[in-house]
Structure 1
Amino acid sequence: MAIPQQTIDQILDRTDIVDLIGQRVKLKKTGRTYSGCCPFHQEKTPSFHVYRDKQYFHCFGCQANGNAIRFLMDLESRNFVDVIKDLASQTGIELPKDSTEHKKLTYKKSTPAASTQTPSSATPPAFQPDDDPFYAFQMQQNEEDMASFDLAENQEGNLYDLLEHITQFYEKELALNHGAQAYFKQRGLSAQTIQQWRLGYAPSDWQHLEKAFPTDIEGLKHIGLIRTSEQGRDFNLLRERVIFPIRDTKGRVVGFGGRALNDEIKPKYINSPDSDIFHKNRLLYGLYEGSKNKASDWLMVEGYMDVIALSQAGIHGAVATLGTASNTEHLNILFKRNHRITIAFDGDQAGQKAAKRTLEIALPLLNDGRELKFFILPNEHDPDSLIRREGTETFKQLWQSAPLLSDFLFALLSQEYNTAHPEGKSQVMGELKNLTNLLPQKGSYRYLLTQSFREKLGLGRRFTAQVSHDASLSFNIQTRNEEFVIALLISHPYLYKQFEQLRAYVPKEELLNDILTILDRVFDLLPEDQEHAVYYMLGATSQFRDIISEILIRTNIFSLVDVPEKSFKLAEEYALSLQEDYLRKKMKQPQSLKESHNLRMQLNELTKQISLKLMG
């Protein structure tokens, strides 16, 4: 069964090697890698490492290494095809039933009308990504796994080879065009940067590719670099533009981006169209280069020049989409490399709209542990211009201080609505609810984000103590009993948090224990309005209606505690006072010497707290 390398690469890209191996080997995160005891030989000290960013494993003890396919083949003694079928099923990728997929990577070479020396007539040197420690391994795997790739020389061309030849052609054209060189020089790029990113230039000639590659017309049309007009004439897609080769995660050129040198030419940017080897929605410009430079932090920016300028300044990890809006595939690619990613946006209104669109796309992906930051750029600046003006260190500081999603979202919504009024606060909470409904149902982030907004809008359930410094705490309360606490909790249910610790001390047979248990169950359901919260509690404790009514009358609680600050102060006093009472009662009849010792330690600690309150 012949399986195209493109399909194998797609399966490996969608397979998380850490998760796959982690199901069979106990792994522990150590820095940027995961380590464990090697399953291929006996060892006590872990020397087996898994690299998520490279989708690669290596044992420094027995030298076993490879990708997810090799791991399953060696560990389970299975053949290549069986493993591929299994992984394809898990990743949802359909394997080719015949040689159709293989044919998509090839095209039929044509015979030129006349034998002319062209740049494509000489065989260029084989491309090898610079300093890639895994390149040899990848090539060896390709040879072992894809021995069925038997291309007929001089009859078939390979699309990857053709794209590599075109890249070299554009590089040579850049060296001959002073205008294109001046553009890159004006943008501050060094000769070394231009060479590293393999930048080039597409001539203004409408048929320059046909002239350079006369035997590869079918291949050029297949990857969309030659188009046919309505009049039936062929023309080149990229003309009089500086060229940005786009590489996949293996370092192979799969497409091009072109920027017009003349601002009158529209559109300013053009990218290769999608083809069998070029998929804009599953690629990020700069991802290969960032990985090669061992980037750990990732920043999504808008343009190719932003990525290159940041890299030249020593900031690796910037990536850009390929002329499309960011999508879930793009974000998941980065989340596989780091739990925290940052997205840069312009500070203008258009940038804010783009940020909100990205936010809605990202929310369903924010499982617990993932973080999204928003780097809002100053007006009239992009990362390229900002780093040139402010310098590398300042840019890094701005990036590190970029707000997390929760802070960014609050700032965004509070700009849209006037939160000084109840109506504005209500609109903010309504917008937030629509957005949090997009978050994963499992996990705590939805709840925590809502609570954060409530506190920022002053809707928190807990009273904030606003006690005057002249007021002193008094623990000489004449009516120091459970009845007063019950009355306080019924009249001010939000004070439950002050008494929550009492549940560990109050005997189960006492009414106060029942009231605390009910409050613990319904606390998150309490209405925001104070009066409504009291009615809610009276309903929740209806089985004790008669006795609670007597307590409320006897304590005269509603006239005694008529302001939040006073109730908060009393809650603090009674919580500590009752804890002291219950501890002293338990100390009179300890179950053991150990319990007596523990109770005395608790009482000593509680006495210190009471002393501090009295001194404060």
Structure 2
Amino acid sequence: MAIPQQTIDQILDRTDLVDLISQRVKLKKTGRTYSGCCPFHQEKSPSFHVYRDKQYYHCFGCQANGNAIKFLMDIDNRSFIDVMKDLASQTGIELPKDNQDSKKLTYKKTITPAPSISTPPVAPAPTPDHIQDFEPYPFPQDDPFLFADQQFTEITQEGNLYDLLENITQFYQQQLPKSASAQRYFKQRGLSPTTIQDWRLGYAPEDWQHLEQAFPQDIDGLKQLGLIRTSDSGRDFDLLRDRVIFPIRDPKGRVVGFGGRALNDEIKPKYINSPDSEVFHKNQLLYGLYEGTKFKAQDWLLVEGYMDVIALHQAGIHGAVATLGTASNTEHLNILFKRNHRITIAFDGDSAGQKAAQRTLEIALPLLNDGRELKFFILPNDHDPDSLIRQEGVEKFQQLWQQAPLLSDFLFALLTQQHDVSTPEGKSQVMGELKNMTQLLPPQGSYRYLLNQAFREKLGLGKRFTPKISHDASLSFNIRTRDEDFAVALLMSNPFLYTHFEQLRAYIQQDDLLAEILAVLDQVFDKLPEDQERAIYYVLGACYAYRNEIAELLQRTNVLDILNSPEQAFNFAKENALALQEKLLRQRMKRPASLQESQNLRMQLNELTKKISLRLLH
């Protein structure tokens, strides 16, 4: 049974991991987590922690970790499918059934057999007495009644929608050489024969029933796919006519639908897409994603149209994708965020593009967990990516892409365009609108705070991180100071960075000062005041027992002179946390408590190494 990732995610979202594990392990709330004795190894003091907000568990002792599915598979030694059936039943989500799913992909394929010639009726056998008088009975082959009793029974078979779509794709490809106007269109857009072949581009003839004529046995399938429509008068007609065709492939490379562009610009709409069907869901697909994945693209750019995607790929920019005639939504952005923590969206520079950017901004904010970055590529006026590359060249395009502002800069420019920030009233209005926007951000993490702090500084409302620092000073700091001490200094100057260091509690020695500070922050983090100054005093009070060590460390590191912006503190925290995690993992691997723990640590180190490598690439 193949279970779609979307269904798995829905089941995990509806499963309360704390409730699930509480049925097997006695848990006690400790700060932001629930803790208990690990069910995977014997221990006397609790080192097993469950994070309700992250739907994740981790044992500090044996390093067992995972989600609800992994927990049930490991504790009961059950298969993935068995566990999914159990969780699906508990959450009320129906899993796909093999038979049911396969039927959804079929249609009635009708075959009319050719008529066979009936055997003529036989005349009575002549007797020997009159055999010489017998004349053969005449049976003219063109007799209209010859096949009167013949049964023309249609044979019905099951056809597969994916096979039908593949056949239609080949049919459209075969029509392209027959249309001079379609070939001229692709040539004017600068597409090479190789590009046309790779993207399987084609042409739909202008005849109103060309698909019925080409596929007379597959009318039911064509109607299921929405490629044949029925008029008010009851007459069937083809959806795509006299248009160049863009086959749309799913992540597995199967054609699931088509886009058609009118060759005559007077025809509206200019673009038509196949409607949603059992195999085609516009909101869950991106044009070019399969091709980009095939080329192992790292940087992803969301553009507007099919031709933009193809032109960018032809120029060597393989991470370009486009929505399928719909506006960007959370599904589209999540598809890309799963492939890279940093994505870029391109918009036209006109007013319509600005409105689209603002709408995308609003749907993107709830997705911006710590570590995710969204850039806004505003194209020069009167240009789309295709025209920009053809007129300015790919190097100019790459340069503009690299200079595209991050979400924070774009949002600041957007809001300050609407208000006079030279006045207190204007600044107040900007901060008011920013507060409304940041309410859309995930409640966990530090991005909400960092965004507010950055705006305050740009508007001249906050001077906390004004000191400047040379690159040499930053290097000398790292030489003199332990990573653990730097982490403590960062946390004391910005307690909201705790979310970056939280996972270190699984590896660090409990008598280390950083471990003590992390334990305190775990207890008080949800109670921190939103204002940074007040949050700092709150944490200093909670860490009063370590006041002498903290004072000495802050004086020695002088962290406030090293960081000159919230963004820099954020980046330092990410890098410091990753470096510390790698260091502590390697130390822990030298003294594993068991073979199982050694294997778990090795897996975690491999994942961490990949994450660090990706960060270095960017």
One-letter code aligned to 2:216: P
2:387 & 2:452 partners in 1: Cα distance? 37
1:291 & 1:428 partners in 2: Cα distance? 40
Q: SS of 2:421's equivalent? A: coil
Summarize deviations over 1:527-546 as a string: whole Å, max 9, x none. 9xxxxxxxxx9xx9xxxxxx
Shift of 1:94: 2.1
Q: Does 1:524 align with 2:531?
A: yes
Summarize deviations over 1:241-269 as a string: whole Å, max 9, x none. 10111111110000001100011111000
Q: SS of 1:326's equivalent? A: coil
Contact 2:229/2:239, CA 8 A, preserved across alignment = yes
Q: 1:200 aligns with which of 194, 202, 216?
A: 202
90-99 vs 234-243, greater mean Cα deviation:
90-99
Contact 1:246/1:257, CA 8 A, preserved across alignment = yes
Shift of 1:394: 1.8
Matches within 5 A, 1:406-485: 406-462=408-464
State the partner residue of 1:85.
85
Gapped regions of structure 2 (runs ≥ 5): 13-68, 116-154, 469-491, 494-527, 539-547, 562-618
Shift of 1:178: 1.1
Matches within 5 A, 1:111-130: 111-112=111-112
1:372 & 1:214 partners in 2: Cα distance? 49
Matches within 5 A, 1:63-462: 78=78, 81-82=81-82, 85=85, 94-96=94-96, 99-112=99-112, 155-462=157-464
Tell me the number of residue pairs that the alignment of Structure 1 and Structure 2 aligns. 392
Shift of 1:88: 5.8
Shift of the 427–90 alpha-carbon distance from structure 1 to 2, 3 Å rule, reads farther
Contact 1:345/1:375, CA 8 A, preserved across alignment = yes
2:179 & 2:232 partners in 1: Cα distance? 31
Summarize deviations over 1:101-122 as a string: whole Å, max 9, x none. 322110111135979xxxxxxx
1:209 & 1:339 partners in 2: Cα distance? 43
Shift of the 92–418 alpha-carbon distance from structure 1 to 2, 3 Å rule, reads farther
Shift of 1:351: 0.3
One-letter code aligned to 2:531: D
One-letter code aligned to 1:450: N
Shift of the 456–377 alpha-carbon distance from structure 1 to 2, 3 Å rule, reads same
Identical pairs, percent: 74
Shift of 1:85: 2.7
Shift of the 280–91 alpha-carbon distance from structure 1 to 2, 3 Å rule, reads farther
2:112 & 2:316 partners in 1: Cα distance? 46
One-letter code aligned to 1:359: L
Shift of the 108–437 alpha-carbon distance from structure 1 to 2, 3 Å rule, reads same
Q: SS of 1:384's equivalent? A: helix
Q: SS of 1:416's equivalent? A: coil
Shift of the 316–464 alpha-carbon distance from structure 1 to 2, 3 Å rule, reads closer
1:465 & 1:9 partners in 2: Cα distance? 48
Shift of 1:399: 1.1
2:462 & 2:270 partners in 1: Cα distance? 50
Report 1 or 2 for greater relative contact order, CA contacts < 8 Å, sequence distance ≥ 6.
Answer: 2
2:393 & 2:348 partners in 1: Cα distance? 18
Contact 1:11/1:91, CA 8 A, preserved across alignment = no
Shift of 1:100: 3.3
Q: SS of 2:111's equivalent? A: coil
1:89 & 1:330 partners in 2: Cα distance? 29
Contact 1:299/1:341, CA 8 A, preserved across alignment = yes
2:202 & 2:78 partners in 1: Cα distance? 46
Contact 1:198/1:245, CA 8 A, preserved across alignment = yes
Summarize deviations over 1:385-424 as a string: whole Å, max 9, x none. 1111121222112112211000011111111212122222
Q: SS of 1:310's equivalent? A: helix
One-letter code aligned to 2:111: T
Contact 2:110/2:156, CA 8 A, preserved across alignment = no
Contact 1:109/1:218, CA 8 A, preserved across alignment = yes
One-letter code aligned to 1:429: M
Shift of 1:73: 9.3
Contact 1:106/1:159, CA 8 A, preserved across alignment = yes
1:210 & 1:204 partners in 2: Cα distance? 13
Contact 1:11/1:87, CA 8 A, preserved across alignment = no
Shift of 1:333: 0.5
Contact 1:247/1:254, CA 8 A, preserved across alignment = yes
Contact 1:306/1:384, CA 8 A, preserved across alignment = yes
2:320 & 2:92 partners in 1: Cα distance? 29
2:381 & 2:242 partners in 1: Cα distance? 30
One-letter code aligned to 1:172: Q
Q: SS of 1:107's equivalent? A: strand
2:530 & 2:390 partners in 1: Cα distance? 54
Contact 2:302/2:344, CA 8 A, preserved across alignment = yes
Shift of the 249–368 alpha-carbon distance from structure 1 to 2, 3 Å rule, reads same
2:8 & 2:291 partners in 1: Cα distance? 19
One-letter code aligned to 1:227: R
1:392 & 1:276 partners in 2: Cα distance? 38
Gapped regions of structure 1 (runs ≥ 5): 17-68, 116-152, 467-495, 498-520, 528-536, 541-585, 587-594, 610-616
Contact 2:7/2:95, CA 8 A, preserved across alignment = no
1:170 & 1:13 partners in 2: Cα distance? 37
Shift of the 106–76 alpha-carbon distance from structure 1 to 2, 3 Å rule, reads farther
Summarize deviations over 1:164-209 as a string: whole Å, max 9, x none. 0000000001121111010000000000000000111110011000
Shift of the 189–90 alpha-carbon distance from structure 1 to 2, 3 Å rule, reads farther
One-letter code aligned to 2:199: W
1:461 & 1:86 partners in 2: Cα distance? 55
Contact 2:111/2:156, CA 8 A, preserved across alignment = no
Contact 2:369/2:442, CA 8 A, preserved across alignment = yes
Contact 2:204/2:245, CA 8 A, preserved across alignment = yes
1:305 & 1:107 partners in 2: Cα distance? 32
1:526 & 1:113 partners in 2: Cα distance? 84
Contact 2:88/2:95, CA 8 A, preserved across alignment = yes
1:313 & 1:89 partners in 2: Cα distance? 49
1:343 & 1:229 partners in 2: Cα distance? 39
1:224 & 1:280 partners in 2: Cα distance? 14
Q: SS of 1:411's equivalent? A: helix
Shift of the 448–178 alpha-carbon distance from structure 1 to 2, 3 Å rule, reads same
State the partner residue of 1:65.
none
Shift of 1:463: 9.9
Shift of 1:329: 0.7
Contact 2:161/2:221, CA 8 A, preserved across alignment = yes
One-letter code aligned to 1:420: S
State the partner residue of 1:128.
none
1:370 & 1:90 partners in 2: Cα distance? 32
State the partner residue of 1:560.
none
Contact 1:112/1:214, CA 8 A, preserved across alignment = no
1:199 & 1:89 partners in 2: Cα distance? 44
Q: SS of 1:367's equivalent? A: coil
